[in-house]
Amino acid sequence: MPLSTIIAPMDLRAQILEWRLERKKIAFVPTMGALHMGHISLVEAARKQADRVVVSIFVNPMQFGPKEDFGNYPRMLAQDIAKLEAAGVDALFAPIAADIYPEGFQTFVSNNAINNILDGRSRPGHFDGVLTVVSKLFNLVQPDCAFFGKKDYQQLKVISNMVRDLSFPIEIVGCDTMREEDGLAMSSRNLRLTPAERQLAPKIYQGLSLIAEAYKAGERDFIKLTDLFKEELAQVQEFRLDSIDIRTQDRLAAFEGDGGVDKPAVALVAAHLGSVRLIDNLEFGAQ
Ligand code: PAF
């Protein structure tokens, strides 16, 4: 079946209704475009679990802060369509902003507990923007299951919590981060790195790997573990570290006291390289 590109929400509804009447299971992969192998791996996971796969491309203005890269975010619809077609996607939903945010728009989805820690602290309003658009897209696509990358670890948690709290009848599936050969996590923002910055960028993954190795060798002190990362990144003066945190995998809670890292953990980092803010994370510790 060839890929159909759908712009209008009404047309999307008609297509979804048709598939529902045929009792097809529908999977959804929301994206902001500039697709790479990380997105395609989500599509592949989606195809294994459902009869029809819908991908959305919408660069969501609400999740960008006033000083962030909304204007510079890479947009390449023609290439994206070719990649989705090759990956066997059934429908691309590429709405226009006026259909997502009609005049008078005033209702938001927010999560105060998790929104204001980690990336939510550095990017005020970011996760409200993500939750609001994802809940709108869920209502429009009405999928049975939706696929998100673990690269945006906090986003995956915030969305899973929203689905639980607001009873969306949707299974959320988290998929492993795809990495370039040198370890750099795949991200649309990598396109904005200069060639020189691209050479330096894998340092983030090297630093995260040091944490996991030290934990394996018996280190449990979260301050010593994060210091290892800071020392590694400090070797490259072009980096400006935004945050490095070690949290529990289940609730993103901070480790406290003498027990150190005593639960399955994840190290989450955000760092600026030139004009690009990169994020990455690595899970470690007993499962
Ligand atoms: O991960 C992304 O690309 C975006 O945050 C998402 C989930 C598509 C919402 O705009």
Q: Is 184 a residue whose pLDDT tops 60?
A: yes
Edge to edge, what strands does the sheet with 91-93 contain?
4-6, 91-93, 52-57, 26-31, 145-149, 171-175
Task: Determine the distance separating the centroid of ligand 1 and the alpha carbon of 184, expressed in angstroms.
Answer: 19
The closest-lying atom of ligand 1 relative to the alpha carbon of residue 30 is: 8
C-alpha dist (Å) from residue 200 to 142, 233, 272:
41, 10, 12
CB 282 less than 6 A from any atom of ligand 1: no
Task: Determine the distance separating the centroid of ligand 1 and the alpha carbon of 249, expressed in angstroms.
Answer: 21
212: tokens are 């996991």
What does the pLDDT read at residue 88? 97
Question: For 176-181, what is the mean pLDDT?
Answer: 98
Judged by DSSP in three states, 13 sits in helix
CATH 3.40.50.620 domain position(s) in the chain: 4-175
Q: Which of 32, 160, 187 to mutate to test the pocket of ligand 1 (most atoms within 8 A of CB)?
A: 32
Question: For 217-227, what is the mean pLDDT?
Answer: 96
Q: Does residue 39 carry a catalytic annotation? A: yes
Task: Determine the distance separating the centroid of ligand 1 and the alpha carbon of 33, expressed in angstroms.
Answer: 9
State how far the Cα of 88 lies from the Cα of 47, in Å rounded to an integer. Answer: 8
Q: How many CA atoms lie within 13 A of 204 on its CB side?
A: 32
Across the chain, mean pLDDT equals 96
E-only strand ranges, 113-264: 145-149, 171-175, 239-248
CATH 3.30.1300.10 domain position(s) in the chain: 188-282
Q: Which of 68, 133, 186, 191 to mutate to test the pocket of ligand 1 (most atoms within 8 A of CB)?
A: 133
Task: Determine the distance separating the centroid of ligand 1 and the alpha carbon of 263, expressed in angstroms.
Answer: 29
CB 63 less than 6 A from any atom of ligand 1: yes
54 burial level (CB within 10 Å; 0-12, 13-18, 19+):
buried
pLDDT tens, residue by residue, 101-129:
999 999 999 998 888 889 989 999 999 99
Task: Determine the distance separating the centroid of ligand 1 and the alpha carbon of 156, expressed in angstroms.
Answer: 10
146 — pLDDT class (breaks 50, 70, 90): very high
Which CATH superfamily, name and number, covers 4-175? HUPs (3.40.50.620)
> Whose C-alpha lies nearest to ligand 1, atom 6?
31
Domain 188-282, what fold?
Answer: Pantoate--beta-alanine Ligase; Chain: A,domain 2 (3.30.1300)
Provide CB contacts within 8 A for 100, sequence distance 6+.
58, 60, 133, 136
What does the pLDDT read at residue 258? 79
Q: Is 1 a residue whose pLDDT tops 90?
A: no
Percent with pLDDT over 70 in the chain: 99
71: DSSP letter: T
Question: For 219-241, what is the mean pLDDT?
Answer: 97
136: tokens are 């709108």
State how far the Cα of 261 lies from the Cα of 259, in Å rounded to an integer. Answer: 7
> Whose C-alpha lies nearest to ligand 1, atom 3?
31
Q: Is 286 a residue whose pLDDT tops 80?
A: no
- Which residue in the block uniquely carries the two structure tokens 């040198």? 182
What does the pLDDT read at residue 257? 80
CB 214 less than 6 A from any atom of ligand 1: no
pLDDT tens, residue by residue, 25-54:
999 999 999 999 999 999 999 999 999 999
Question: For 162-170, what is the mean pLDDT?
Answer: 98
Least confident of 7-21, 31-45, 85-99, 104-118: 104-118
- Which residue in the block uniquely carries the two structure tokens 């690009």? 276
Task: Determine the distance separating the centroid of ligand 1 and the alpha carbon of 280, expressed in angstroms.
Answer: 15
CB 154 less than 6 A from any atom of ligand 1: no
CB 187 less than 6 A from any atom of ligand 1: no
What does the pLDDT read at residue 144? 98
